[in-house]
Amino acid sequence: MSSPLPSEKALVPFVSVENMMRLVHHIGIETVLTELTDVIEADFRRWGSFDKTPRVASHSGEGVIELMPTSDGEIYSFKYVNGHPKNMAQGLQTVTAFGLLAEVSTGYPVLLTEMTLLTALRTAATSAMAARHLAPRGARTMAMIGNGAQAEFQALAMKAVCGIDHIRLYDIDPLATEKMVRNLAGTGLTVTACSSSQSAIENADIITTCTADKQYATILTDNMVGSGVHINAIGGDCPGKTELHRDILLRADTFVEYPPQTRIEGEIQQMDADYPVTEFWQVLTGQAIGRRDASQITLFDSVGFAIEDFSALRYVRDRLRGTGLYQDLDIIADPDDPRDLFGMLQRAKQAA
Amino acid sequence: MSSPLPSEKALVPFVSVENMMRLVHHIGIETVLTELTDVIEADFRRWGSFDKTPRVASHSGEGVIELMPTSDGEIYSFKYVNGHPKNMAQGLQTVTAFGLLAEVSTGYPVLLTEMTLLTALRTAATSAMAARHLAPRGARTMAMIGNGAQAEFQALAMKAVCGIDHIRLYDIDPLATEKMVRNLAGTGLTVTACSSSQSAIENADIITTCTADKQYATILTDNMVGSGVHINAIGGDCPGKTELHRDILLRADTFVEYPPQTRIEGEIQQMDADYPVTEFWQVLTGQAIGRRDASQITLFDSVGFAIEDFSALRYVRDRLRGTGLYQDLDIIADPDDPRDLFGMLQRAKQAA
């Protein structure tokens, strides 16, 4: 085969799962989490620059496939992500993802990357961003309810960004907790495995819920939650999937990413359509108050928003430079004369 | 590097531009166009099986980036496609695209492919599908107004599927017409270069308009169009971009893909929101009448719809088997224990 090589514009850098893992280790996972938190926060501070739209979801009996696009007018991004709670029983990931950055001015892609790992990292970084503004001062202990694929990332982000040094774990499956204890060995975190959620949240300053069942679950009930805590609710993230009893919401002040999406997907899907929430970006810009006092319960009702993926993709693009941790994909047809797509096809035959 | 190989489920077949060109030549371009026409028609006949949504567009001053998802409940597809008319002046494609198929039951991708070439092929096949049901009997001559990147594909599809043997060309840029004359040499088509649209459409049974300027253009005026022709309007495909004078629409019967999208993007954006149109799939199933008589003007106001991409992606997946014309991409993180994403990341470090 001797057909002409594709031009540089036609090649899109692709970061495989293996290269993403190498990139994370090259930088250091806690540094990645800290830098990602800062990059996401910087983008949240310029919230008004972004095109925002609720994600485009295709629901089925087994799960959901979603596309999450956004743009700041210069760079466009989207993420493909699925959520299939029954996958785990088949040995598959509940959530897998990949994403893309493109130039708005030409529409040409400039980065394609795995985002299963990157989503775990950016979700943890987003939690840490909210917690560093909402958690009680001097918070050191986090309860982690749900010890699945996201859990260690949450723990390390809270350590790196918020100074958490003690994690108390609970999962309905003790094997998941054992896995998490094993994985966090050597990270510098004190890790306590607990036999109930009630026990896990004892003396916790931050409570993170991250469970996968697609149902209206009640991981936390009202009498379990004391005053002053910050709740980071990750797992209630699609219609019909919640984790908190609504009475907790009534006692808490609720902070969200993008209300039109969170009202469909978040914990607040249990509440009326005009249930009061604060957009978290407004806390960053000073347009809204975050934590008011030491007894307030703050709730970050996080469902994941496209801007977080945008930030993560930009971060990977910046950090990829000079590492060589990508392959060039010939995914864009780029004939010498842009009107001569057919001629390019014909010449490929002659060259074959 | 000796980290464990990704499992089979984690690898997604990727068809590069080069492999797509090889696949097309392996099958034969006219065979591809004929088979694609049949596959698209088969999917249009089961229109009710599909999730349908207008594409998700991100508009800017320079162009548009769109995501076009659909699903039949078993297979999900989406296409990423841009439209940037000014790209050509920079030596870039006006339209580039790639797409993906995934299993609805797991959300796992099963095919990633370039779609710049594939979109040109499926657009031509869609035109041919409509023309074989709407064009006047015994049609042999097509006028092709706009001789850009899509034009040769349109000509060959009309030859292979509808028996067109004479193509009359016009473009405001004579170099585009020269390119098309050159590219169609040896295809068996009689090709006539014309000096005006008026001249190009003389005696044409089918008039195809496929121009790229993003404006309300008037490629055809009412007095140019005689009775009995079939008009295949391709280029009017986004808000603010049309090709036909509205008086032509008033004389024609208009057939469309998906009305909610066409009313925003097609020629009928010039008309009232209740302007009568026929959904083309209903012609196929017998629920609506196509061509009524020899004097009727039929207009296929085509903007491109997600189901056509779904069909094209399925076709590529089927025809790819046994050819080896793909690479395996490590785009899905797939730890042995699906809850142990973090452990997979850690083990990659140890293995490095």
What is the share, in percent, of chain B residues with pLDDT greater than 70?
A: 95
Which of B11, B51, B58 would you mutate first to test chain A, the one with the most A CBs within 10 A?
B58
Judge if B279 and B338 occupy the same domain: no
**Nearest chain A Cα distance for residue B49, angstroms:** 13
Judge if A156 and A210 occupy the same domain: yes
Contacts of B312 (CB under 8 A, 6+ apart): B36, B39, B40, B99, B115, B118, B119, B121, B122, B125
Model confidence at B212: pLDDT above 90: no
Residues of B in contact with A348 (CB under 8 A): 18, 21-22, 25
Judge if A228 and A332 occupy the same domain: no
pLDDT tens per residue across span B230-284? 999 997 667 777 889 889 999 999 999 999 989 988 999 999 999 999 999 999 9
The verdict on residue A165 lying in a domain is yes
Q: So what's the pLDDT on residue A214?
A: 60
Nearest to A164 by CA among A203, A113, A213: A203
Contacts of A53 (CB under 8 A, 6+ apart): A69, A70, A306, B56
Q: Are residues A334 and B62, on separate chains, in Cβ contact within 8 Å?
A: no
Kind and range of the H or E run holding B219: strand B216-220
Judge if A87 and A98 occupy the same domain: yes
The verdict on residue B201 lying in a domain is yes
Reading the block at residue B151, the tokens are 């034009």
Residues of B in contact with A83 (CB under 8 A): 107
Of A1, A16, A340, the CB nearest to B179: A340
Q: So what's the pLDDT on residue A7?
A: 63
Q: So what's the pLDDT on residue A229?
A: 97
Which of B96, B117, B325 would you mutate first to test chain A, the one with the most A CBs within 10 A?
B96
Q: So what's the pLDDT on residue B229?
A: 97
The verdict on residue B16 lying in a domain is yes
Q: Are residues A107 and B346, on separate chains, in Cβ contact within 8 Å?
A: no
Judge if B273 and B330 occupy the same domain: no
Paired with B300 in beta bridges are: B232, B255
Of A64, A338, A340, the CB nearest to B92: A338
The residue of chain A nearest to residue B82, with distances taken between CA atoms, is A107
Question: Which CA distances in Å does A40 have to A14, A195, B339?
Answer: 22, 35, 25
Q: pLDDT averaged over consecutive 10-residue blocks of chain A (352 residues)? A: 55 96 97 98 97 87 93 97 88 90 95 96 98 97 95 98 98 96 97 96 95 73 89 82 89 95 91 96 98 96 95 98 96 87 91 67
Judge if B176 and B270 occupy the same domain: yes
What is the share, in percent, of chain B residues with pLDDT greater than 90?
A: 78
Q: So what's the pLDDT on residue B49?
A: 96
**Nearest chain A Cα distance for residue B169, angstroms:** 15
Q: What average pLDDT does range B205-234 have in this prediction?
A: 86
The verdict on residue B3 lying in a domain is no
What value of ipTM does the predicted structure carry? Answer: 0.91
Active site residue B237: yes
Q: So what's the pLDDT on residue B3?
A: 44
Q: So what's the pLDDT on residue A53?
A: 80
The residue of chain A nearest to residue B26, with distances taken between CA atoms, is A349
Judge if A162 and A294 occupy the same domain: yes
Q: So what's the pLDDT on residue A190?
A: 98
What is the residue range of A108's domain? 8-117+307-351
Q: How confident is the model at residue B214 (pLDDT cuts 50, 70, 90)?
A: low
Q: Are residues B341 and A88, on separate chains, in Cβ contact within 8 Å?
A: no
Q: So what's the pLDDT on residue B33?
A: 98
Contact A123, A209 (CB under 8 A): no
Residues of A in contact with B331 (CB under 8 A): 14, 16-17, 98, 114
The verdict on residue A277 lying in a domain is yes
Judge if B87 and B223 occupy the same domain: no
Nearest to A114 by CA among A256, A252, A17: A17
The residue of chain A nearest to residue B73, with distances taken between CA atoms, is A60
Q: Are residues B330 and A179, on separate chains, in Cβ contact within 8 Å?
A: no
CATH number for A24: 3.30.1780.10
Q: So what's the pLDDT on residue A3?
A: 44
Q: So what's the pLDDT on residue A14?
A: 97
Q: Are residues A335 and B104, on separate chains, in Cβ contact within 8 Å?
A: no
Q: Are residues B29 and A345, on separate chains, in Cβ contact within 8 Å?
A: yes
The verdict on residue A240 lying in a domain is yes
The verdict on residue B122 lying in a domain is no
- Number of domains making up chain B: 2
Q: Which amino acid, one-letter code, is at B91?
A: G
Q: So what's the pLDDT on residue A280?
A: 98
Q: What average pLDDT does range B123-128 have in this prediction?
A: 98
Q: How confident is the model at residue B1 (pLDDT cuts 50, 70, 90)?
A: very low
Active-site pick, B171, B237, B301, B309:
B237
The rounded mean pLDDT for chain B is 92
How many degrees, rounded to 5, is the angle at CA B224 between CA B220 and CA B230?
75
Q: So what's the pLDDT on residue B310?
A: 98
Q: What average pLDDT does range B48-71 have in this prediction?
A: 91
Q: Chains A and B: how many Cβ contacts under 8 Å?
A: 268
